Structure 1
Amino acid sequence: MKKTLLYFGVLLSNLWGTAQDNYQFTDLINIDSTPVISQGNTGTCWSFSTSSFIESEIIRLTGEYVNISEMYNVRNTYPVKASNYIYRQGKAQFSEGGLAHDVLNSIRDYGLVPAEVYSGLLGGKTKHNHSEMASILSSMLDTYIKNPGKTLDPKWKEAFNSILDVYLGKNITEFYYHNKKYTPQQFAEAYSIQPEDYINITSFSHEPFYSEFILNIPDNFSNGSFFNLPIEELVYTIDHALKEGFTIGIDCDVSEKTFSSKNGIAVVPEKESNNLEALHSIYPEKEITQEYRQQEFENYNTTDDHLMHITGKVEDQKGNNYYKVKNSWGSDEKTTKYGGYIYFSDAYIRLKTISITLHKDGVPRKILKKLNQHKTVEN
């Protein structure tokens, strides 16, 4: 009887201890952002995340809330991808993917428009689905490259754009917003968005630190350049920016079993045997060094998967800090937690971040000075 009571006592103690360790979060920093929405069945996280980032920038700079059109950026980026793919004879990336600077490039060249004037949803549709469109566009370009007619018809760009018109809608050159007429360029200027004010930062040891280089990852079709910081300084930059009221765009790997939208958590447990439990409860995490980070990148365990938006920080009941990361997979309680946000541990940020994008004023001055001294690549 005593053994039985002792057994149940230990069992209850273990259950109580586990329950006590279940994640309980408290906000530390919570910067204004727009509601979580869904990218639907598309590979356009780069536009959704960066548009969300730009929306927070508009709030910071003007105090106004604007719902930016993600599909306007997509519509204007596809022809750029197509030209790159054709001119490189198919030896380049052509997919739905992209990076944060592709949105900034689109703003620079084509401005911004609100979602209410360009939704990219036609025929009464309410959810984005680009599967058919992406397949048709890819097949069209591959046919041009095979060149069955022995010469490329000069109207190929017109034909390509006609597909975009059918699926996303004709491009827009002027519109009314709050009873005022704008061009897309005027709209971007009116809401204080200057693309040249934003920079990309990464952290990889195969290039000199503090240099600027073209990061060779599949979705960098536009050859965007990135400043290279040691991982300690990249994390310090994120922390400094958040403390000063700046949000950050993030490109990261989400292929780990310990990344869970459903549980709203992304961690790197010290022991893989704790991977499942770590989605619910606090466990020790790996120490992430620059060397380990580089190793995981070079063996493809860390890949360019998904872009998101860091809007703050939270703390668990043991005082561990996490980054509050806004996703673009909707906010349905059946598939997400924390309203569509995912809380990244410090270890996850250090290991799985490919790059960040932020306003240059959010970078610590001493770091920005180092970067300016070593600037080598022009966008």
Structure 2
Amino acid sequence: MAALHRLRQCHPAGIAISHLHTSSRASAKQHYKMLVLGGGSGGIAMSARMKRIMGAENVAVVSPTHYYQPIWTLVGAGAKTVASSGRSTASVMPSGVKWVKSKVQEINPATNTVRTDDGNEISYEYLIVALGLQLHYEKIKGLPEGFDHPKIGGNAVFTFPNTPVKCAGAPQKIMYLSDAFLRKTGKRARANIVYNTSLPVLFGVKKYADALWDIVKQRDLQVNLRTNLVEVRADKQEAVFENLDKPGETTVIEVTVSDFTFLYPNVFGIGDCTNLPTSKTGAAVAAQSAILHRTISKILKNEKPDWKYDGYTSCPLVTSYNTVILAEFDYNGQPLETFPINQAKERRLMYHMKVDVMPHLYWHGLLRGLWGGPEPYRKLLHLGMK
């Protein structure tokens, strides 16, 4: 039961998860059969699905604002607007579901209660944790201050950190788009573009990595493997990287849970806050939501869950303003492609999938609990062979 996943002992946002709660249970003013923590893609999708199973009056969501994060790379490249990425939580919340406009302070699974930052306690029969991840720029010395520095250099350095990230392809996507922008504006000859990654490979799936190596060579993009950003010196326009294969050695560049276990039988996890060993993408959440939906349905009927999550995720690698390599793969890094064509090839069609089709699937499919990933279509398009 991959979707019934072990949650971190302490959520990245600092939310405490208490396992030994010895005080007597407080009389909770609010009680719901299903309580969903988080109003991102996983939380909204599952609240819509649980509404159909349990009824809207039995479901509550604790959440603030909602963003369509996959489009942010295109926003940074000027291809989309910031406004197109955000919608009010009220507009995506399933009708009739209770929206608790507070932040989660503490989870007490031993007593089936959650405490919010305003001091209220909510009890539940079942809990879905979909709290996402929190970014910590301050972990890199000088980085937060560097955001406000006015100088801009002639070297563009893109990095992949030595920590978990939301999307493994994101640093490359914006690099390719930056290269395309500089070429379009006639400034590419005056810029050096460098990609420093902590990984020993350009991309985790060899099929797509081979195609990406061809692209970086064709476009004169410098790639340095096994390097990790440790400091930004904004005043000197320098970035300091450590050599992960040679501890203590640094380089200065001028810038101008086990897989199928769970802690409590009525607590489920989905999305970025779980320790599922797969990329943190909307595509992964979609696939997980379908599995989790069926799992909870089975449990409510006292039946044994029969579906397992295979780690499916998708990373549309935007390689220009009109091409995309659509990477799809599983836990083992094996391609799990939807279309019966070679998806490692740059295609204009896949760009339109990324820019036009996927946002529609997100807003009108995933968030309404109607899109659980492309698996049924994959089988159809491959004539049942996958």
TM-score range, shorter chain: under 0.3
When normalised by structure 1's length, the TM-score is 0.26
When normalised by structure 2's length, the TM-score is 0.26
Q: Which has the higher contact order (CA 8 A, sep 6+)?
A: 1
| Structure 1 or 2: more strand by fraction | 2
| Structure 1 or 2: more helix by fraction | 1
